[in-house]
Structure 1
Amino acid sequence: MKIIECPRDAMQGIKEFIPTEKKIAYINTLLEVGFDTIDFGSFVSPKAIPQMSDTAEVLANLELEKTNSKLLAIIANVRGADDAAQHKQIDYLGFPLSVSETFQQRNTNKSIAEAMEQLAQIQEICHKHGKKLVTYISMGFGNPYNDPWDAETVIRFVEELHKLEVKIISLSDTIGVSNPENISYLFGHLIPAFKGVEFGAHLHTTPTTWQEKVEAAYKAGCRRFDGAMRGYGGCPMAKDELVGNMATENLVGYFKNIGLNLNLNKAAFDRALAESSVVFS
């Protein structure tokens, strides 16, 4: 079981700039917990996401000698991938690929066709620099723009990513519209069909629907889950209002209740949970 903690996703929707020192201290606490991966920042245009303009400085001050957690940075184009790939501390580059044409333009200022072309180049950059590419299928469970969506479209996108030898694909419920039925259907079909691919669940959700979503994904075979402390954040490019992230403490509690040992440092987890209230207040 892999838990991916996503302070980047939590921070990027905050309009008031979070001081760099506060980000560094918070992520260093998260690194002590023992999460598989920390989605810590992004190499994107500071005009698009001002909150992430200090990602390189944050990275330079992380205490990586104290952790086994890996680092993931989000990128939106080839230039961002080139920038991120220069940092040896980064293990994964994450790229958002949308099944919604509207959202692809809104999120990365390019068409789906252009995004696929760039993704092929980004994969080459990853191979060259020893990074692994994580592709997020954004709006993977529906969209608010009336763009066409069905499960078979998502499956076709996965087929294209498989041709590019993408080994980690995360289905993203960008606006919180997934339900147990479409979660079960997608993971239940994709996981056995693409045995060399690690599928993840990046589920935005409300406080009342999180458990049924986690349970559906887990029972369908998903073993990679993204979360953010207290469910902070959401995608600022998606809609005018944010649908929060999956709360990490809910994920951890669910897996503990079904008997899984996630090997997390409880004291550090509790400190990070408390600190999150300060960072995002």
Structure 2
Amino acid sequence: MSTVNRGTTPEVLISEVGPRDGLQSISRTMPTEAKLAWIDALAQAGLKEIEVGSFVPARLMPQMADVAEVVRHSTARHPGITVMALVPNVRGAEAALAAGARKLTVPVSASEAHSMANVRKTREQMLEEVRQMAALCRCQPTHVPLEVGVSTAFGCTLQGAVPEDDVIRLADALAHAGVDEVGLSDTTGMANPAQVRRLFTRLRRALGERAGAAHLHNTRGLGLANCLAAYEAGVRTFDASQGGLGGCPYAPGASGNVVTEDLVFMFEAMGVRTGVDLEPLLVARAVLAAGLPGESLYGMTPEAGLPLGFTYADGRRPSPA
């Protein structure tokens, strides 16, 4: 299937996490056929990295029971896209690699309390898991990047404040464990722009090119402001979820990832190229809505539409309706 051809290199990468983070955060299970249609539509909009699922036991997360099939479909249908899967442990990594995932992402919590609730392992135990996963990825015939998102980097609903020094020490340990990228996640939606700017500045100073994505939530309405602060600190990869689906089952009240449609609009309106077109992205939103009838979707841009005279960062105007 072809995707949007923008002709210019994107300045930021929007990593779509809705098919994983979004779908695992709701009680309903999206039919496999609908899920595949949604991923196809996201690819058609120009998204170049899509987190398509989690390799976790189906008895714990039935929404992800079809993840291997989803990975196989996505890699076969979209050879130019980074098909990413979340893996909580070595067993999950082995299954993801066997299915053909092109990138793995691992959540490692900066909060000990959240780590025990989320994966039932201490931070030190997770570091050992990450070392083994990094070795596994290096053994593949074609290198599969391993990314870690430091969960609860900006605060934890179970522990409370998370010291910034703890976050940076953990990120440095993960880099030494062999991962390709270490990003920061506002798992509980507690971050503010000053904090985001400060912590990502420290992360980039500590890790250089290994400093990775910003995974920010909109729990208290600061999602876009926090993304802008991260951008100003030098971040160029941003996780987002179509319709704002997502959250964390072990972070009460912390639902709602940054809305992909709003994030793309913000950057393009600023003159920052994303490589994503809003018109087919809104078509993908309709595919999502059809696959989950009645599910609440969020976002200001889909409601308001594009403003009169809007142009993309590369100078193009939206296609006529």
Q: Report the TM-score when normalising by structure 1.
A: 0.94
Query: Identity across aligned pairs (percent)?
Result: 33
**Match of residue 211 from structure 1:** 224
- Out of 56, 76, 80, the position equivalent to 1:44 is 56
TM superposition shift of 1:62? 2.9
8 Å contact from structure 1 (residues 43, 84) kept in 2: yes
Moved more, 245-254 or 55-64: 55-64
- Any conservation in 2 of the 1:31–1:67 contact (CA below 8 Å)? no
3-state SS, counterpart of residue 133 of structure 2: helix
Residue 144 of structure 1 corresponds to which residue in structure 2? 157
Mapped contact 1:34–1:69 kept (Cα < 8 A):
no
The residue identity in structure 1 corresponding to 2:69 is: E
Aligned to 1:171: 184
Residue equivalent to 2:92: 80
Q: Distance in 2 between matches of 1:207 and 1:29?
A: 29
Residue of structure 2 aligned with 1:279, choices 291, 307, 313: 291
The more displaced of 261-270 and 148-157 is 261-270
Tell me the residue number matched to 1:62: 74
2:119 — aligned with what?
Answer: 108
* Partner residue in 2 for 1:119: 130
- Counterpart check, 1:229 vs 2:259: no
How many pairs were matched up?
279
Give the distance between the partners of 2:21 and 2:180, measured in 1 at CA. 22
| Amino acid aligned to 1:250 | D
Q: Which amino acid aligns with 1:165?
A: G
- After superposition, the C-alpha distances for 1:157-184 in whole angstroms (9 at most, x for unaligned) are 1110121232211200001000011101
Q: Which residue identity lines up with residue 163 of structure 1 in the other structure?
A: H
Structure 2: how far apart are the matches of 1:193 and 1:62? 35
Q: Which residue of 2 aligns with 1:15?
A: 27
Measured on the aligned residues, the alpha-carbon RMSD in Å equals 1.7
- Give the alignment partner of residue 41 of structure 2, picking from 29, 35, 51: 29
Q: Give the direction of change, closer, same or farther, for the CA distance of 1:147–1:266 in structure 2 (3 Å limit).
A: closer
Note the C-alpha offset of 1:192.
2.9
Equivalent residue of 1:196, what SS?
Answer: helix
Give 5+ residue unaligned stretches, structure 2.
Answer: 1-11, 296-321
Q: Secondary structure, in 3 states, of the residue corresponding to 2:40?
A: helix
Point out where structure 1 has 5 or more consecutive residues left out of the alignment: none
The residue number in structure 1 matching 2:316 is none
Distance (whole Å) between structure 1 residues aligned to residue 263 and residue 193 of structure 2: 16
Report which of the two structures shows the higher radius of gyration computed on alpha carbons: 2
What SS does the aligned partner of 1:40 have?
strand
